[in-house]
Amino acid sequence: MKKRHWYDYLWIVTPLYLGLGCFNILFAWLGLLFFCLPLLIAIFGGSKAYCNRYCDRGQFFGVLGKTCKLSRKKPVPRWLKHPIFRYGFLIFFLLMFANMLYVTWLVYAGARELGQTVTLFWTLQVPWGWAYPTAVTPWVAQFAFGFYSLMLTSALIGLLVMVLFQPRAWCVFCPMGTMTQLICRVRARKQLRAVRETGRMPEV
């Protein structure tokens, strides 16, 4: 057995986060951590330490797929790992993120009512009013509903590909993973050029 580290148990954060959002949607704000941490580590650290070590989601799919044997363990189809799909999905995700911010702004500006729903797969409106026990400033709640929608949708997509393909199939086209890898590529461009010129992989 390989030595276990404290960060090997972070998978618990995924069900915890999704569960808390079923009781009080305002917990969705915590999700900003999962958004900022990987980016900060990539921008300032130039590494994917978040994916490699700390990401709860990747671990969670690993636990479900491998330990709980819920995955068929079939190869991920070629198109899913093609850069066109990966970057396309990233752009789509960022647009949906921007849209969520826009809706939050509309509510802030008073141009739109707070919608107490969670939107699944960017279309399906699911009533979620029970998780909004105490009224807060409308835009704060709107952001929480919007952010939770994105988190739940991506988790469901991840679960689907976990069952269909490899346990961590989501990591192949995960927008955060794609974005951090892109940032790291840009940061390592000099070394990458040297690798291309010599035709050798970097030394370990």
Q: Which residues bind other proteins (CB under 8 A)?
A: 2, 42, 46-49, 51-53, 58, 62, 75-76, 81, 86, 165-172, 177-178, 180-181, 183-185, 187-188, 191-192, 201-202, 204
Q: Which does 144 bind (CB under 5 to 8 A by kind): other proteins, ligand SF4, none?
A: none
Phi, psi of 126 (to 5 degrees): -110, 125
Contact status, residue 161 vs residue 193, Cβ threshold 8 Å: no
Q: Which does 129 bind (CB under 5 to 8 A by kind): ligand SF4, other proteins, none?
A: none
Site membership for ligand SF4, residue 65 (CB under 6 A): no
42-69 per-residue burial string, b: 16 or more CB within 10 A, e: under 16: beeeebbbbbeebbbbbbbbbbbbeeee
Choose, by CB under 6 A, the member of 55, 96, 103, 184 that binds ligand SF4: 55
Using the contact rule CB under 6 A, the part of the chain among 16-24, 50-58, 105-113, 133-141 near ligand SF4 is 50-58
Task: Tell me whether residue 167 is exposed, middle or buried, using C-beta atoms within 10 angstroms of its C-beta: 0 to 12, 13 to 18, 19 or more.
Answer: buried
Q: Which does 106 bind (CB under 5 to 8 A by kind): ligand SF4, other proteins, none?
A: none
Min CB(82)–other proteins separation in Å: 9
Q: Which does 188 bind (CB under 5 to 8 A by kind): other proteins, ligand SF4, none?
A: other proteins
Residue type present at position 78: R
Site membership for ligand SF4, residue 174 (CB under 6 A): yes
Contact status, residue 7 vs residue 53, Cβ threshold 8 Å: yes
Min CB(48)–other proteins separation in Å: 4
Do you know the residue count of the chain?
204
Contact status, residue 175 vs residue 89, Cβ threshold 8 Å: yes
